[in-house]
Structure 1
């Protein structure tokens, strides 16, 4: 069961924990090679996306947080997912102990300000629940759009590491009052 207060509404968006019926929309996004090129390097399979969905549902059930499914408030159209995970990536105890922020928007939802709006709402939510906690994220050095978004919200590059044979930059966001 999702954590209390897990539904978020912004001016244009609704953010809610995922359910199994979100699979088709998530598969459409994660199997789009252009959308995921900086994150996974290639389109995900149905099995990969199903595992991601189950992991996200499990995050909410076990930890009280996870990724939200983001949709347009006006018509319910799928936008993407934004949220927090703890994946034990092995990128250092300081990284693995902090909530890791992530975002992915479907192709048709990009360049509309939705990522900024959803991430702002997610970070306000996290500030209420983890008031003294920093958050972290990893971004490909080639992903200029995500780097701009992260820096807009006070994430600062910390170090470059190799994760799954790809270079990524670890970003940290110190505790910031909402």
Structure 2
């Protein structure tokens, strides 16, 4: 568990389903752009939740659920996972950074706060030497956040018919 000024980051749990599902059951925009994130049905949300629980079991790391310290409401998720997306070993063999903030909470700096804390945690792990992420080039808010967090673009690749920018971040010296 990681505490920040406004959030607690912790692994997902089965008991999170009812509070976690709304983040994925409704249309969500990525930042202030018009690129929608996928809408999932309950079965897909449940499978996603189980995927993250299993990720922690298999690898000792994974996505964190971001919980508001005052209200205990789920505000988003941030963390790292192996997705095996087919971008080649330079991408697929590194933990992939991810972040999503729930509708209505974007633009408040929660993603940056949570991701900074998650990266500091990952920097202490052996697999944290190099982490990657992929971002749609039209998602300028996420690109700006990635750059503020030390990610640098190192290539582009097609993913499901969309050319995405590939970024990496090298561990900060301790």
State the TM-score, normalized to the length of structure 1: 0.89
- Asked if 1:176 is matched to 2:136, the reply is no
Q: 1:39 to 1:166 in 2, by over 3 A?
A: farther
Match of 2:17 in 1: 23
Q: Distance in 1 between matches of 2:116 and 2:153?
A: 19
What is the rounded CA distance, in whole Å, between the counterparts of 2:4 and 2:56 in structure 1?
20
Confirm whether residue 151 of structure 1 aligns to residue 138 of structure 2: no
Matching residue of 1:165 = 161
Residue 60 of structure 2 is aligned to residue 35 of structure 1: no
TM-score with structure 2 length normalisation? 0.91
Confirm or deny: 8 A CA contact 2:95 2:128 kept in the other structure: no
Q: Distance in 1 between matches of 2:93 and 2:35?
A: 24
User: Which deviates more from structure 2 when the two are superposed, residues 77-86 or residues 160-169?
Assistant: 160-169
- Alignment partner for residue 96 of structure 1, among 77, 84, 92? 92
Check the 8 A contact 2:94/2:127 in 1, yes or no.
Answer: no
* Structure 1: runs of 5+ lacking an equivalent: 1-6
Determine which structure has the larger strand proportion and give its number: 2
RMSD: 1.7
Q: Which runs of 5+ in 2 are unaligned?
A: none
Contact 1:131 1:177 in 2 (8 A): no
CA offsets 1:145-177 (integer angstroms, 9 cap, x no match): 111110001111111111122221111112223
How many corresponding residue pairs? Answer: 171
Task: Report the Cα distance in structure 1 between the residues aligned to 2:130 and 2:121, rounded to whole angstroms.
Answer: 13
Per-residue deviation, residues 47-86 of structure 1 (Å, max 9, x unmatched):
2211111110000111100110101111212110000001
